């Protein structure tokens, strides 16, 4: 009965949500359909294209929500509203074409930042700019989100239990993929409809809403005392560093940053209670002033790291978020009657500015790391015009590691072609002709175990001559049936076994392949070409192609121990 009641609630929510937010519900449904197709699709190229489409349609959800809520409040002409939706659609198409070319660090972090900014816009759009009780509106939205999460979990649990009963009692096989698809429908169709059906109307007077008792108790008697205790511990630590003359460790930056961001959120949430509670008055008045010195110390610690190793995207994001929370706390400290809507608006702007434009994390990091590289190259007289020449003397081990670290950063996060001084088509495995040393030599410690980590990036897979594609992480969990075959991979002895019924068609210790890679490239930490990590074998029954993406282990004397092997497996059954 509870399940039927939830379904009826879902249908009612669907009607209310579609009526109020038709385009948003359309996009959530399209995204859900794409995720279901992705879960069943094969082929890397197809998966990448579908994933990019799903990412863009998901991005359209907060965009259409923000537009709908804005025009609900302003009551602007329909032509202007339709024009806004058309412009938003064009921007999404442009984002797909120009900002989602391929998956990588830049693409993913930029997508996360833009998504954060758009959902923040969804929060403040109905209250932009000067409307009272914005905090109560946000609390109402968060409460609706939590209720939606609970209802969705209950609905999925009921459906999953029903499917399990069908599987166990009726003998109808229900695959894991089908369970995942059911979850996609619950999370991508039911949850948005239910959530949006309870979203407060733009003309609703939030000042009349009662502050949730559970949240009040949680913040006043648990969270705020913990924050003040944490602040005391931080000041004791800073006093200790002054007495011992020991500079704060790098981890203090993240500890202070996230505690400050969390505290800003707490000030936002308790602000409606300020007029009635002296503890809240004390907290909102004095805590922003207490946290400012801690944030300054955080900047000092991160500056040391930047001076030593240059700017990277992670350090840039830490500084950007630190500047934002410093500005918010300064605003809280100086303003007697602050407007909390400044918090989400400013955070949305910081998120966008950090990933878009010439001042973005990516542009600044590339410039910084190029500058580090050119300084090292100049120190060893390697700069000859706009190209490199061999150093005039032996490069120290510390500088070798710095050079390799910079080049690995570009290869991992950007492209080696963006290092200004490198020759065209430079690859890391051919460092010695350019730099006079090989990358795999610099990490070895005499008399110690050498840990190696060989990997490759598989950007696309040619599966034309094969029938099935599997991944190692799936194979290690269970036996997998692919057509008439059963494939197993033992996580203990790394043995790959392919069966046809009870007949062994293929058996191989995968470590034999990995040893061949080690023999060619040594026990080092390297990024290798795909062809060097690919093996093809064939017999009268089966054709197999193995593409290793990761080989991890250690070498001591002549003994090699493999700790992890990750790979793609392509199969063709030769009938």
**Residues 569, 534 within the same domain:** yes
> What's the rounded Cα separation, in Å, for the pair 264 and 286?
13
Cα–Cα distance measured from residue 573 to residue 575, given in angstroms and rounded to the nearest whole number: 6
User: Whole domain around residue 464: which residue ranges?
Assistant: 450-573
More confident position, 393 or 249: 393
Cα separations in angstroms, 76 against 66, 82, 128, 235, 494: 14, 10, 15, 52, 65
What local confidence, expressed as pLDDT, does residue 205 receive? 78
Instruction: Look at 253-262, 272-281, 550-559 and tell me which has the smallest mean pLDDT.
Output: 550-559
Average pLDDT over residues 304-333: 94
Q: What interhelical angle do 397-413 and 105-124 show, nearest 10?
A: 60
| 329 pLDDT more than 90 | yes
Q: Please determine, for residue 549, whether its predicted confidence score (pLDDT) is greater than 50.
A: yes
Question: pLDDT: is 360 or 77 the higher one?
Answer: 360
221-241 pLDDT, tens digit per residue, is 999 999 999 999 989 988 888
Do residues 351 and 374 share a domain?
A: no
Cis ω for the linkage preceding 129 (within 30 of 0): yes
Reduce the DSSP state of residue 65 to 3 states and report it.
helix
% pLDDT > 70, the chain: 92
- Mark which of 441, 463, 483 sits at the end of a domain: 441
Span 143-169, average pLDDT: 91
Query: How high is the pLDDT of residue 572?
Result: 84
pLDDT (mean) for 160-173: 84
- Mean per-residue pLDDT, 78-102: 91
Residue with tokens 């279901």: 36
Number of domains in the chain: 4
The confidence score (pLDDT) of residue 12 equals 67
Which of 206, 229, 261 lies at the terminal end of a domain, its last residue?
206
How many whole angstroms separate alpha carbon 569 and alpha carbon 223? 50
The pLDDT tens digits of the residues spanning 374-395 come to 999 999 999 888 888 888 888 8
Which of 6-15, 327-336, 428-437 is predicted with the least confidence, judged by mean pLDDT? 6-15
Highest mean pLDDT among 35-39, 115-119, 167-171: 115-119
What is the phi/psi pair of residue 456, to 5°?
A: -145, 160
pLDDT in tens, 390-420: 888 888 888 988 998 899 899 888 999 999 9
Look at 132 and 344; give whichever has higher pLDDT: 344
What integer pLDDT is reported at residue 81 of this predicted model? 87
Per-range mean pLDDT, top range of 31-40, 53-62, 228-237, 509-518: 53-62
Residue 384 and residue 282 share a domain = no
Q: Give φ, ψ of 549 to 5 degrees.
A: -105, -15
Say yes or no to pLDDT of 445 above 50.
Answer: no
pLDDT at 422 over 50: yes
Domain shared by 42 and 68, yes or no: yes
Pair 394, 485 in one domain = no
Give the pLDDT score at 6. 58
* Boundary residue ending a domain (147, 173, 206): 206
Is 396 in the same domain as 507? no
- Pair of tokens at residue 157: 């649990």
Confidence of residue 78 (pLDDT cuts 50, 70, 90): confident
User: Can you tell me the distance from the alpha carbon of 527 to that of 404, in angstroms, rounded to the nearest whole number?
Assistant: 12
* Residue 72 shares a structural domain with residue 19: yes
What percent of the chain stands above pLDDT 90? 43
Query: Are 47 and 101 part of one and the same domain?
Result: yes
**Residues 357-368: tens digit of each pLDDT:** 999 999 999 999
User: Is the predicted pLDDT of residue 371 greater than 50, yes or no?
Assistant: yes
Based on the fold, state whether residues 57 and 194 are members of the same structural domain: yes
**Residues 311, 221: one domain?**
yes
Provide the whole-model pTM: 0.78
Whole-Å CA distances, 231 to 115, 219, 235, 260, 419: 31, 16, 6, 10, 43
pLDDT value at position 23? 93
Q: Assess whether pLDDT exceeds 90 at residue 542.
A: no
If we measure between CA atoms, which residue out of 79, 30, 20 comes closest to residue 55? 30
Same domain, 457 and 562: yes
pLDDT at 58: 96
Q: Are residues 311 and 433 in the same domain?
A: no
């Amino acid at each position: 009965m509870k399940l039927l009641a939830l379904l009826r609630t879902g249908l009612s929510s669907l009607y209310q949500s579609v009526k109020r937010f038709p385009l948003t519900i359309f996009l959530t449904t399209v995204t859900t359909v794409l995720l279901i197709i992705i879960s069943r699709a094969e082929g890397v190229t197809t998966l990448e294209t579908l994933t990019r489409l799903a990412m863009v349609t998901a991005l359209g959800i907060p965009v259409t929500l923000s537009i709908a809520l804005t025009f609900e409040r302003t009551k602007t002409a329909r032509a202007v509203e339709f024009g806004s939706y058309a412009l938003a659609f064009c921007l999404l198409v442009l984002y797909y074409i120009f900002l989602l070319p391929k998956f990588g660090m830049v693409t993913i972090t930029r997508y996360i930042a833009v998504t954060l900014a758009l959902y923040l816009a969804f929060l403040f759009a109905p209250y932009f700019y000067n409307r009272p009780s914005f905090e109560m509106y946000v609390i109402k939205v968060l409460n609706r989100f939590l209720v939606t999460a609970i209802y969705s979990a209950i609905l999925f649990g009921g459906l999953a239990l029903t499917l399990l009963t069908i599987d166990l009692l009726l003998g109808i096989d229900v695959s894991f993929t089908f369970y995942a698809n059911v979850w996609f429908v619950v999370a991508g169709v039911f949850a948005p409809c239910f959530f949006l059906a309870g979203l407060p109307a733009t003309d609703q007077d939030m000042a009349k809403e009662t502050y949730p008792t559970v949240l009040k108790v949680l913040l006043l008697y648990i969270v705020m005392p913990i924050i003040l205790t944490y602040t005391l511990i931080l000041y004791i630590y800073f006093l200790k560093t002054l007495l011992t003359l020991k500079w704060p460790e790098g981890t203090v930056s993240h500890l202070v940053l996230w505690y400050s961001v969390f505290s800003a959120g707490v000030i936002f949430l308790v602000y409606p209670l300020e007029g009635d509670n002296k503890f809240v008055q004390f907290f909102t008045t004095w805590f922003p002033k207490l946290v400012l010195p801690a944030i300054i110390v955080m900047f000092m610690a991160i500056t040391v790291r930047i001076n030593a190793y240059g700017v990277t995207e992670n350090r840039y994001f830490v500084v950007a978020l630190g500047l934002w929370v410093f500005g918010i706390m300064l605003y809280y400290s100086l303003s007697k009657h602050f407007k909390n809507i400044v918090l989400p608006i400013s955070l949305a702007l910081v998120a966008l500015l950090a990933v878009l434009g010439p001042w973005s994390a990516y542009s600044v990091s590339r410039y910084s790391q190029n500058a580090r590289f050119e300084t090292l190259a100049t120190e060893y007289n390697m700069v000859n015009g706009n190209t490199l020449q061999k150093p005039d003397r032996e490069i120290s081990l510390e500088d070798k590691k710095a050079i390799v670290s910079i080049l690995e950063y570009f290869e991992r996060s950007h492209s080696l072609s963006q290092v200004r001084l490198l020759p065209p088509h430079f690859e890391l495995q051919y460092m010695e002709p350019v730099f006079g040393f090989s990358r795999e030599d610099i990490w070895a410690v005499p008399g110690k175990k050498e840990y190696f980590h060989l990997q490759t990036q598989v950007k696309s897979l040619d599966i034309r001559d094969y029938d099935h594609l599997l991944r190692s992480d799936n194979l290690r969990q269970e036996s997998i049936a692919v057509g008439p075959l059963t494939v197993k991979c033992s996580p203990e002895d790394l043995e790959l076994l392919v069966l046809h019924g009870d007949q062994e068609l293929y058996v191989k210790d995968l470590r034999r392949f990995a040893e061949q890679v080690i023999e060619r490239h040594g026990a080092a930490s390297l990024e290798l070409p795909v062809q060097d990590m690919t093996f093809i074998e064939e017999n009268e029954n089966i054709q197999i192609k193995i593409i290793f993406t990761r080989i991890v282990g250690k070498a001591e004397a002549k003994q090699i121990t493999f700790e992890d092997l990750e790979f793609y497996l392509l199969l063709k059954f030769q009938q």
